[in-house]
């Protein structure tokens, strides 16, 4: 199953009922990609939402992430961590498992063979990483027997990640943009607001449509209410013209909004 362009991010969606209902609503609205993580503390609620939705499991692309602080990233810890994740989600397999951050006891030579093993066991379908730089991505590609499927990293109009997107295209994996709305600051970016007014849409839709104009990018905005979920879906049908895209491309800022978690290579 390929990675849908638009997914549901669930970071900070920790109230069990709200999380369950937002996942269910999103799936029944047409979302087919749900992104969670051990670190988010909501895998059980995400699983409840998947179970409650009137959508067959085989049509849903489910991703989670193993984290150094939760189980560790040694070989056996990855295997055990995935088992716990599947138990909380109530699933037999994941479509995609990520290394959440290459910190703590992350070691490509020990961590990544566990991912290959999980693919071989049919417990995960694809391998991903998060918050890597190009050197770490190349190291992972070399170490893995399974093709690298996705790299998830903060990406939005104020942090455009052109080099990482180009690397993804050249090496044949997906670039997954988290915080694609720059934690709400897209509503204050003049270029984005003006383009939104021009098309009669929200700045959120403009930010998402701009990202989706890049290849090979998928986006995972977080939302809980039905209006926000619908607004994000509508970005799929928004066609920005070349001038719109060029204006956002030219913003030229590098505003990193997500804590680096001890990953100094992410500094500008």
Active site residues: 40
**What is d(CA 219, CA 28) in angstroms, rounded to the nearest whole number?**
19
Specify which residues 204 forms β-bridges with. none
CA of 183: how far to CAs of 38, 108, 248, in Å?
Answer: 21, 31, 17
**What is d(CA 49, CA 130) in angstroms, rounded to the nearest whole number?**
24
How wide is the angle at C-alpha 192 spanned by C-alphas 191 and 193, nearest 5°?
A: 95
- Both structure tokens of 185: 């600051």
- Asked whether the beta carbons of 168 and 141 are under 8 A apart, the reply is no
- Asked whether the beta carbons of 112 and 140 are under 8 A apart, the reply is yes
């Amino acid at each position: 199953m390929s990675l849908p362009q638009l997914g549901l991010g669930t970071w900070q969606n920790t109230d069990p009922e709200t999380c369950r209902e937002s996942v269910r609503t999103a799936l029944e609205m047409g979302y087919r990609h749900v992104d969670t993580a051990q670190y988010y503390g909501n895998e059980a609620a995400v699983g409840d939402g998947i179970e409650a939705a009137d959508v067959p499991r085989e049509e849903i692309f489910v991703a989670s992430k193993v984290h150094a602080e939760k189980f560790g990233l040694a070989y056996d810890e990855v295997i055990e961590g995935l088992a716990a994740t599947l138990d909380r989600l109530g699933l037999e397999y994941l479509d995609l498992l990520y290394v959440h951050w290459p910190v703590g006891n992350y070691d490509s030579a020990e961590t990544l063979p566990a991912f290959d093993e999980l693919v071989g066991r049919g417990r995960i379908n694809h391998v991903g990483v998060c918050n890597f730089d190009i050197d770490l991505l190349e190291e992972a590609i070399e170490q893995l027997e399974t093709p690298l499927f996705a790299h998830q990293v903060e990406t939005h109009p104020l942090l455009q990640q052109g080099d990482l997107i180009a690397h993804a295209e050249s090496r044949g994996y997906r670039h997954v943009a988290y915080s694609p709305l720059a934690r709400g600051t897209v509503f204050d970016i003049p270029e984005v607001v003006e383009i939104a007014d021009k098309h009669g849409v929200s700045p959120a839709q403009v930010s998402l449509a701009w990202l989706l104009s890049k290849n090979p990018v998928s986006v995972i905005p977080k939302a809980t209410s039905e209006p926000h979920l619908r607004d994000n879906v509508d970005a799929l049908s928004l066609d920005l013209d070349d001038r719109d895209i060029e204006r956002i491309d030219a913003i030229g800022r590098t505003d990193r909004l997500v804590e680096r978690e001890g990953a100094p290579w992410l500094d500008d």
